[in-house]
Each structure stands twice: as C-alpha cells, then as structure tokens.
Amino acid sequence: MMHGMGGMGFGGMGGAWGRRDNVNIDDEQGKLFDCEVVWRLLGYMAPYRRQVALAVLGVLVYTATTVAVPLLVQRGIDGYIAQGDLEGLNLLALAFAVVLAAQYAVNYGHQAVLGRVTQSVLFDLRRDLFAHLQRLPMSFHNRHKVGSVMSRVQNDVSTLQEFLNIMVVSLGDLISLAGIIVAMIVLDLRMSTAVVALLPLLVLVIAVWQRFARKAFLNVRTAIARVNGSLQENIAGVRVVQSMNRQDANLSKFNELNSANLNANLRAMSLSAVLMPAVELFTAAALAGAVVIGGSLVFGGTIEAGVLVAFALYIQRFFDPIRNLTMQFTQLQRAMTSGARIFELLDVEPDLRDAPDAKPLPPIRGEVRFEHVSFGYTKDKPVLEDVNLTVHPGQTVALVGPTGAGKTTLVALLARFHDVTGGRILIDGHDLREVPRASLARQMGTVLQEPFLFTGTIRENIRYSRADATRGRIEEAARAVGVHDYIMSLPDGYDTVLEERGGNLSVGQRQLISFARALVADPRILVLDEATASVDTETEQTIQRALKTLLAGRTAVVIAHRLSTVQHADQIAVIEQGRVAEVGTHRELLERGGLYAKHHALSRGAATPEAAG
Amino acid sequence: MRYPWLLAAAWLSLILATLLQIAVPRLLGTAIDDVLARADTSRLWWLAGAIVLVTALRGVFSYGNQYLAEAVSQRVAYDIRNAFYDKLQRLSFAFHDREHTGNLMSKATVDVEQLRFFINMGMVRSGQMLLLVAGVSVVLLWLDWRLALAALAFVPLVAYRAIAVSRRLRGIWAAVQADTGRMTTVLQENLAGMRVVKAFGADDHEQAKFEAQAAKVMDSSYTAARTQAQNGALMQVFFWAATGLLLWLGGRAVVDGRITLGELAQFILYTSLLVQPIRMMGFLVNTFARAHAAGQRLFEVLDAESPVRDAPEAAPLSNVRGEVAFEQVSFAYRAPGAKASENAHGPSGDAANGAAIGAAGFRPALRDASLRVAPGQRVALLGAPGSGKTTMVNLLARFYDVTSGRVTIDGIDVRDATVASVRRSVGIVQQDVYLFSASVRENIAYGREDAALDDVIAAAKTAQLHDEIMALPQGYDTVVGERGMTLSGGQRQRLSIARTILLDPPILVLDDSTSSVDAATEARIRQAMENVMRGRTTFVIAHRLSSVQGADTVAVLERGRIAEVGAARDLLARGGIYKHIAELQGAPTAAPGPSRAGGAG
C-alpha cells in the first residue's frame, strides 16, 4: 500500500563529519539493518519503556482479537448454523460484539500510546541534536553548510519518524502472522502445512526481487537529493540569479536533475509494482490449495465447511504482513541511513570541550595576554605564529594589517571559537582552556562586521540572551547607540517583528541594533570587528560616541579598518602574515617609520577623510 | 489534468483488475456449494486452477494500474517542481524579503511529496476502492438483497466518518506544518547566526527557544497521530461488525433454508474483500487532508504574481547609452507582517501618497525623487542608512517596481522594457554577496556561462582578485562554499565585482563595494574600478565621503527624499547637509579631490 519513495533530503551535502569521511548522499551503501543504529534508537526509547511495554501488550491483545474473528465465523457456521442452533448463534453474535468493542479500545489505545512515544523520542532526538550543535565549535560550523546540517536535524529525524511507525506496524504484522499460523494449525494441520509451505517460496521470490530493487531505490534517493540541493541554492542565491538574468540557464539545469529524478522513480516503480501481483498470486495459489485439499476433506467429512471459510479468511490476510514488510524495506533502508547520519553528527566530538576540572571564570578585570600563540585551521597552513600581545584592563588595542593577515583569527581565538594550537591565551591569568566556555562568553561581547539578527521583535533582539534585561535597560542601550528614535518611529516600536535576519531593516540599522545588543550584555571585554564601513557618516558619528561610552572601563580588541579608530587606541598591533609585526601607539609607530607608517601614508593617499583631517 | 491518456490507461487497468478480483470469492463460493450442496468434487481442480488464472491475469492489470498511477503522479510532481523552481527565481525581491528559505524548501520537498502521494493514492487508488465497493455491492444485492443491505449498512457510516475526520485532520496537519516551519526557522537562524550565539554564550537561550517550538511540533503531531489512530480503529470495527451482522442474520437465513451455507460463505468472503478499501479509506482520508494543506501552501507560491513582470508590449532595451532618469519616483516596501501573498499588492495601488503606507507599516522608502544622469556620468548617492539609496538602484534594476513616478533608461520607462534586458543593462555589485557551491570560475562567470577562461581571468585581474585565486588550492577550479565560507569578506566582494565586470553592463551600480577591505586593498580596488567605470553610467552607493570622490554628481538623500543634488564643489559651497556631513567626517573643506576630466560630458 505504501510507495512513498521520494527521498526528502536536501542535497549537496557531504564533507567529513569527524570519524567517518566521505559521508556523501551520492554513495550511501543502503544498509537494510544497522545494528548500531537500531540499538541506539532503542536507547532513546528506554525512558518510555513502560509505555512501550503497554503498547506491545496492546498489540498482542489486538492481534488476538483480529485472529479470533475468523474463528468465531467458523464456530458460527459449524457449531450453530449447520446445527440450526439459533440460541447459540445469538450468543455468538454477542461474543462477536464484545470482541469488536475490545478490539476498538485496544487498537486505538495502543496506537495512541505509541504515537506519544514516537513523538517524544523524536523530540528528544531533536533536542539532543540541537544541544549538540550548540556545543560544536565554530570550526565545525564554518566547514559545514547550514543546509546540510539542517537536513540532518529536519529530514533525517522525519525519516526516523517513518521508521518508528514502520517498526510499530511491522511488529503488529509479525505478531499477526504468528497468530494466524497458530490459528490455522489449531483449525487443521494438513491445510495449514500446505499454506505455510508457500511462505519460504515467497521469501525467496522477494529476496531475488530485492537484488534488483535496491539499486533502483538508491538511485531515486540520490536523484531527489540533487534536485533539492539545486533548489535550495537557487532560493538562497535568488538575488544574484535575478540580477544576472540566470533564470533560463538555471531552469534548464534544474530540469535535467528533475527529469533524472522522474526517470529514476519510474524505473523504481516498474520494479516495485511487480511485488503486489506476485504476493497476490501466492494468495491465490494458497486459496486454490485450500479449495482442492479442503474441499476433499470437507467432502470426506474430516473437516466442516466453516473451517474452509475460516481458512479462506486467514489466507487473504496471511501474506499481507510479508508484503507490507517488503514494501517498507525502502523506508527501512532510508531510515538506517538517516539514523546513521544523525548519530554520526551526534558523535562529532566538540573539540572545544571544557576541561573536566574547569572552574567558572570569576568576575574579571579584563587583562588579556597572548603568549606565543600559534594557530592553523589545517595543520600544514599556520594562520598565526608566535603571537605575543598584552592588553591591560580597560585598554583598547587596535589590530591593523592587510586582509588575510590573521586579525579575525586572533579575535576568534580570544572568543574561543577555536583553541590555540600552540602557546596560550590568558584572561586575568586564567588560561582560556581551563575555564568553561560559557563563563567566558558571559563576560565577553562581540560585534561582528556583518550584523546578524534573529526573527523576533526588536526588543528580543536587543535583549537576546539576557532574558532578565528590563525594558529600561534595553531602551537605555538603544539610546546610547542612537537607534532609539528610529525604533520609536516604527508603528510597533520595540515590538516590531523583524523578518528573516532583520531583512526589513537597512544594514546600518541592523548594525546599530547589534551594538545595542552588545551593550545590554555588558561585557568586560569587547571584541569589535569594526563594521563602521557599512554605516553612513552621521550614524558613524553616533556610533563612535556610543562606542566611547561602551569602551569606557572595558578592555577592547578592535579589528580596525579606519585610522580614526586606530588613532584613539591605547595600543596598535600591526599584524602581517600571522605575526605581530609592530606594537605601539599611533605616534610611536609613525615615528618608527615601519609598516604602520607606510600603511598610514597609503591611506592618506587614498584620501580617507579621517586621514586627511 | 495534464496526462489524460496515462490517467485513462491507469483507470482502464484498474477496472479490469477490480472485476477480476470480484470473481475470486464467486469461485470459492461455488467450490463450497459444490462440496456441500451437490456433493461433487469433480470440479474442484478446475475451480482451483481458475482462481490462480484469474489472479494472474488480474496481476497484469494491477501492475499496469500501479505503474501508471505512479507515472502520472511523478510527472505531476515533476511539473510542480519545475514550476515552483521557476516561479521562485522570478518572484520579485519583495517576495523573498518575506519568505524564509527553510520554509520554501519545506514546501518544495515535503509538500510536493504529499501532493504527489495524494495524486497516486487519491486520484487513482481511490477509484479502486469505489469500484470494489460498488462491484461487491452489486454482487451481494444480486445474491440476496436483504442480507446485502445488512452487510453494506456500514458503508455510508464509513463514508460519513471519512468526510468528518478528513475535515478535522486538515486543520491538524496545517498546524503541524506551521509548527514545523517555525521550528525550522529557529534552527536555521541558529546555524546561520552561530557566531552570534557563541559570542553571547546564548546556548541556553537558543536551546529553550528551540525546545519550545519542538514541543509544539510534538504536541500537534501527536494530535494528528491520535486522530488517525482513532479513525482507523473505528473503520476496522465497522467492517468487522458488518461481518458479524452477516453471520448472525445470514445464519438465520440458512437455518430458515432461504440461502445455502455456500452462499453465506460467499457473502462473508465478498465482504472480506472490502477490508482493503476500508483500511485504505482511513489512510486516504489522512493523505487527502495532508495534501490539502500542502496544496494550499504550494499554490500560495505558485499563484503569487510577481508585480515585476514584462508588460504585454514590452520591448527589450538595446544599445543602451546609459542615460538614466528618475522622475518623481515614490516607493514603499511592504509593511512587515503584512499579508504574505504577493498579489495582495503592498507597495502599489493606494500608495500614491506614501504616507498611507507609513501608517500601516514602515514609512515609504522613497518619496518624489527626481534625478537625471547623462550617459557615462558618475553619481554618488549619499545618505544615512534607510535614506533610500539602495531602493533607488533596486528600482533602476527593476527588483521592485515604482509605486508612482517613473524610472527611465535612455528615455524608456523601465516598466515598458523587458525585465531581462533592464537587468542586463544594469550591473550591480551587491552588498550581500552570494556565492554558489561551484568553482571560482563558474561563480565569476555566473551571468555569462559561455565566458572563456581568459575573460574570466581578465575580470578577476581587474577586480584585483587574480593573485589570490591563484593561491587557492585548485586555482580557478576551487569550489567555494554555500556562504562563501572559504573566502574572506573582501575576496567575496571582489569576486562579485569580477562577476559584474564580465557582464560588461552599460550601467554600473557599486553598492558599498569597498566596505570590508583594508586600506591597501581598497586602494587597489579603487584604481581598478576607475578603469571599469570609464564609459559607463555609474551609481556609487556611498557611505563615506571618500566614495564620493570623482563623482560628477552627488545626490544626498534624507528620509527617502533627494535633499541636495549637484557637484560636490557646489554642494560644499551651498552649505547644506553635504557640507555638514563633510565636516563631520573631517574632510578638507577645500575641493574634494580631483574630479575626473570631462566626465560631465
């Protein structure tokens, strides 16, 4: 009955997820049964074992009632109708009603319980995945596409939902198969032997069929993954697509993938549609056997007519469980892969684990010290080498240097997005790796070059993780960065709902709100990837003023693109090729006549207004 | 229906298969009667053979039916995917401003699949169900109408239930999908904004946000599962109750001698044929309900009309000289949270006076703006964030259409030209640079797939990117990631510049194009851009006075109005906003840098 074979995975995923390399949608092995996956899934069911036990009991009772019905029919025919016993028939009808009432209650009950368990397990899985993603380091998130991670949390979990449903249905099917066999044997051994003998034959046929079908179904999944991958990219990049007039070229490329998907599906269907007639042929053969053998037995008076009817009823349901199980093999295969992918993600070790003996960072003064710090995203390519830098509490240090010199990496290390590969970073004398990351993050604020806001109200965005921030505190912060008046001019004020990533605000406004957010967080150390470039002059002035307030009494590390920022810094560190080339104040560095002086002259040449001023 | 022949063939094989299916209990009943009533076993082998033969024949037709049903549904899904894809890439920015990527993806994957499933199960298989019920009913009525009425009494009940439950489930599934959509959004933003999350140590906050949504999904999914379970259980009980009724009443009839035991057996076996359609009914009801919700979500997108589209008699722009004029242009973006259907029209209609929109949502982005630019001139747009600079160029490239007034290129209203030709004429270096998962070369040649490698390299050189590309592991064949993770902000921006250079547009828009590079790189880009801008009409969206240098005209925007227009020198002399900004930035109040010679034409 089920032919849901279109995979729903977003495509284009790949890349290594830690332990195993090359987990790629294109070369899934399509295991039918992965013990490890099933075992771990069962682990997720463990908290609900009482409900599961109850449900299994329900399945058993339910199966008993369904198996009992043909027996009742047989009793009715042979025991009462054939004997003309109407009283007995009335009693039987009553028994029938009782069995049905019980069947309804048990059927509904066990399915409802299992539904609750299934949804709870999925919730637990999603919760764990999400929590795990929060723990994974920035390097993981930089490496892996949002879409492919999303696909694991979303689609793979949904696939597992199907899997859990299948487990439930299959369990019922198997139990019902066993029940039918028992009932048939009770009724008549000879006839049941004939019917059951067909079973291995059917299994053989299905085994042969699978050899062909498996490949076809794998192709289907690969094809749909490619379709979805292409689709997702097009949505994400739609602005580029439109401005470059790429619609027609893109559509024809998409059409190719889409056609391939269509053909893969048709091919798979041409195989899967064989199964149903095949199973029915077996049913017919069994019925034919029952007619010949049973007919003779009835004729010979060995069995009664009701037995034959009951057999006919059983046979019609006998092969169903086998067929259902086979039809679900696609889903099963998919679920195994999905399960493997989910657990693989859960198994990625957060390489930034808090040390077991990590003690929370006490309230800090804000002294930052880089000692012989080295770092590389890959082993062979160091980004930073032997960086030494000390920032005293309350000081502002400006990092300057060409693109790719390592400025961003340096602040990323300070925020502990990554761990150093050599040397150490100390805050108030505490090695970053020896304090829990959360206690560090609480005392450190970061303002990114590209402001990122969340869907929700402006108030929620400014408050962000400080759930206890009062209205007054929020508005105060907004005032300090000069965005309060703008917010108040909106119809809903602070309750204005922002679209995806604050898309309904301009970059400058988003920037200001992100500043306010940092202000509310009230960090001791502020990391600022100077973003003033996307803000116009007037706003920039507002921000510069606000920053002065913000920086007062705080340690600040600023990736500077403007000489104005640089000039006011207590210290300037010139970074070049992963090293600190020069350190000093603006005046000192100018006098030294090194890189900074050259840089400065160049900027002046480019007529940056501040430089000219 | 777009595939009438396929559908007809599917239905034909369905009818034949069902008729053959109905023959089987008849053969069984005959066998029982032979043995019991006529004490004749001579035909048993024949009847057994007939059962197998009929079933084999039926198998052929049911194979055909299944395959064809799938073929129809897959083709429809194929059509919908293509249509969806194309619609999405043609809907205006206004649509994409509103719709979350994750949401659209879920429509394209889950909803299309639901719809496909319904077409397969609903349009074709439901026929089998109806046909089987009808066929069995006819045979039963023919055998014994009184007994038949008893046996079939449950059919209307089942039908009534099915409709009622379907209606309820529709609402439930809509809720499940809506909840799932919201959960997806939380997840997506969390991943995309991971830096912020980490920087603020907001793990717990995010976790709580996610769990709240996930719990909603759990609850609504459970409601759906429970409703289904109840319905399925009830359907099954209806069915077996019919068998029981049959046994009770039929047994009396047999005892009275009105029918034979064989006939009663036939009755029971025929009724048992209905178990499959009944089971399917419960399933179908659910499928229908889900498909209904899915269909609504899909058609919301498919039926959305982009307000930006070719007019009936639109002609392509050709040989564009690059004269651009804004004539009393007004525009308002849709208020956030406004109804999410693009044809519900936000910015147009009532919005001739922008203030009307301001009352409903955000204030108008542009009001009564007029500006005239001669071919080859360079215009700097200067103003605070939200003052309307980006809006102006978005209107020029027809990413949105004006609310009132008009924008012309070479004197032709852009709305009278084809959208494609307008965008071909206007090259934009965008603020948010999107890189596709493809090689650097393909990304640069994105707008011109046929570009030769030499041209790509030349463009990269002009954009000062060539050396850095060569330093990448596979040079121009290096694949860059979804969000350009492997390239720095500055590199991405220059790649975007190279893209535009390759397109060679007569009109160029540089939106903040030098924001995220350091001074040294900026100087290099500036030099390169000087070359590129030569001979093109250029709009520079300036955030700094330095960007204004070399512009023939400066337009200062303030709250959606063009407050001042003129040469920088004149504006300084006038002592208005421009002078104020210049003073704020500490620029020399003397002449603002060398103006290009002869630029004003």
Pick the more confident residue, B45 or A609. Answer: B45
Span B433-485, pLDDT tens digits: 677 777 889 888 887 878 899 999 998 888 888 888 888 888 888 888 654 44
* DSSP characters over B382-433: EE-TTSSHHHHHHHHTTSS--SEEEEEETTEEGGGB-HHHHHHHEEEE-SS-
- How are beta strands B507-511 and B426-429 bridged, if at all? parallel
Span B391-407, pLDDT tens digits: 898 899 888 888 889 99
Tokens of residue B31, six digits = 């066998």
HSE toward the beta carbon, residue B443, CA cutoff 13 A? 32
Give contacts of A255 with chain B, Cβ < 8 Å: 82
CA–CA separation, B27 and B51 (whole Å): 7
pLDDT category, A3, cuts 50, 70, 90?
very low
Q: Please state the rounded mean pLDDT for residues B348-361.
A: 34
pLDDT at A4 over 70: no
pLDDT at A603 over 70: no
Contact A129, A342 (CB under 8 A): yes
Contact between A244 and B193 using a beta-carbon 8 Å cutoff: no
Task: Using a pLDDT cut of 90, give the percent of chain B over it.
Answer: 11
Q: How far is B486 from chain A (nearest CA, A)?
A: 8
Q: Does the predicted TM-score (pTM) go above 0.80?
A: no
Tokens of residue A466, six digits = 């400080």
CB pairs under 8 A between A and B: 536
State the CB neighbour count (10 A cutoff) for residue A409. Answer: 21
Q: How far is B89 from chain A (nearest CA, A)?
A: 6
Q: How far is B328 from chain A (nearest CA, A)?
A: 23
pLDDT at A319 over 80: no
Domain boundaries, chain A: 35-346
Q: Please state the rounded mean pLDDT for residues A185-199.
A: 87
Q: How far is B374 from chain A (nearest CA, A)?
A: 23
Q: Please state the rounded mean pLDDT for residues A530-537.
A: 55
Q: Chain B residue with minimal CA distance to A224?
A: B109
The ipTM estimated for the assembled molecules is 0.76
Q: Give the model's pLDDT for residue B356.
A: 31
Tokens of residue A246, six digits = 């790429």
3-state secondary structure (DSSP) of residue A145? coil
Q: Give the model's pLDDT for residue B544.
A: 64
pLDDT category, B93, cuts 50, 70, 90?
confident
pLDDT category, B328, cuts 50, 70, 90?
very high
Q: Is the minimum CB–CB distance between B78 and chain A shorter than 8 Å?
A: yes
A464 backbone φψ class: left, alpha, beta (φ>0; ψ -120 to 50) = left
For chain B, give the number of residues: 601
For chain A, give the number of residues: 613
Q: Give the model's pLDDT for residue B358.
A: 34
Pick the more confident residue, B364 or B390. Answer: B390
φ, ψ dihedrals at B408, nearest 5°: -120, 150
Contact B380, B547 (CB under 8 A): yes
CA–CA separation, A15 and A145 (whole Å): 9
pLDDT at A476 over 60: yes
Give contacts of A262 with chain B, Cβ < 8 Å: 74-75, 77-78
User: Reading across the β-sheet that carries A579-584, which strands appear in turn?
Assistant: A444-447, A525-529, A555-559, A396-400, A571-576, A579-584
Contact B102, B187 (CB under 8 A): yes
Q: Which range has the worst mean pLDDT, A100-114, B65-79, B502-516, B559-573?
A: B502-516
User: What's the whole-number average pLDDT of chain B?
Assistant: 79
- For A303-334, b/e burial (b = at least 16 CB within 10 A) is bbbbbbbbbbbbbbbbbbbbbbbbbbbbbbbb
* DSSP characters over B324-381: EEEEEEEE-PPPTTS-S-GGG-SSSGGGGSTHHHHHHSSPPSEEEEEEEE-TT-EEEE
| Structural fold of domain A35-346 | ABC transporter transmembrane region fold (1.20.1560)
Q: Give the model's pLDDT for residue B409.
A: 93
DSSP annotation of B543? S
Give contacts of A606 with chain B, Cβ < 8 Å: 519, 522-523, 526, 546
Q: Please state the rounded mean pLDDT for residues B177-200.
A: 82
pLDDT at A239 over 90: no
Which residues have CB under 8 Å from B543's CB, separation 6+? A533, A534, A535, A536, A537, B512, B515
3-state secondary structure (DSSP) of residue A372? strand
Tokens of residue A302, six digits = 């060995």
Span A125-167, pLDDT tens digits: 999 999 888 888 777 777 776 766 777 787 788 888 877 877 7
Contact B422, B403 (CB under 8 A): no
Q: Give the model's pLDDT for residue B405.
A: 92
Give contacts of A536 with chain B, Cβ < 8 Å: 382-385, 387, 543-544, 581
Q: Give the model's pLDDT for residue A300.
A: 82
Contact between A445 and B93 using a beta-carbon 8 Å cutoff: no
pLDDT category, B350, cuts 50, 70, 90?
very low
Among B237, B434, B495, the strongest candidate for a mutation testing the A interface, having the largest count of A CBs within 10 A, is B237
pLDDT at A122 over 60: yes
